[in-house]
Structure 1
Amino acid sequence: MTGSNEYASVRYLVDDVQAAVDFYTTHLGFQLSTQAGNAFADVVRGPLRLLLSGPASSGARATPEDAATPGRNRIHLVVDDLDAEIDRHRAAGLPFRSEAVSGPGGRQILLADPAGNLIELFQPARR
């Protein structure tokens, strides 16, 4: 297998590339890397490269129709203060898809991007 080891990349299918870029860069601390109109963009946060593929992108065209809808898969972003992040995102009017839940590893809540793809905001338990 060959390829770059610099980033772990995840592809999200989106309806509107610009809306997705705005969402991830404004609210979740990603930086725009490249953009090709409303067909494709990639944004980066730490070692994660998120590929935002619009309907005209080759990545979206290669997806079978029955697999093209958002599912339960999600990216997982670690935060220092989940309550502060919840307050900040609620104040911005962002759509949550769950309430905050706690487990043995920490606390989490699900947020949705403009296309309905899920983002898990996770605060690890103090050890």
Structure 2
Amino acid sequence: MTNLVILTGRLARDPESRETKGGTSVTGITVVTDRPARDKDGKTYKDENGYTAKDSEFHRVTCFNGLSKTVGQFCTKGQLVSVQGRLHYTQWEDQDGVKRYGCEILADKVDFLSRGNARDGDGDNRDAPEID
């Protein structure tokens, strides 16, 4: 059995990086993907500007360790990326005792498909490595 996810989309916001108490680097990104919107008959339609209407989906992606550090340093909002990883489901109880569920992608690989602005302020990430 295989649990494999491949997404290509744009970052909805800048990455959020942190470090666990155990020293593991963790970076979260949100990848937005689009698909043609369909009407009640299953047909695509045009929006008010004459373009094919789209439905957007927002995917939570979590990166760890070296991948986390590289994504946190070189990715920025609006950048086109390809993510390869696996689906991970979580379950917890909130403060009121209600069961909550979540889904995220745990990334194994992130490819930069467009340039973003490097975090060092010069706006150029041509030194960004390819990430596996």
Calculate the TM-score normalised by the size of structure 1.
0.24
Please state which structure has a larger fraction of its residues in strand. 2
Please state which structure has a larger fraction of its residues in helix. 1
Higher relative contact order (CA 8 A, sep 6+): 2
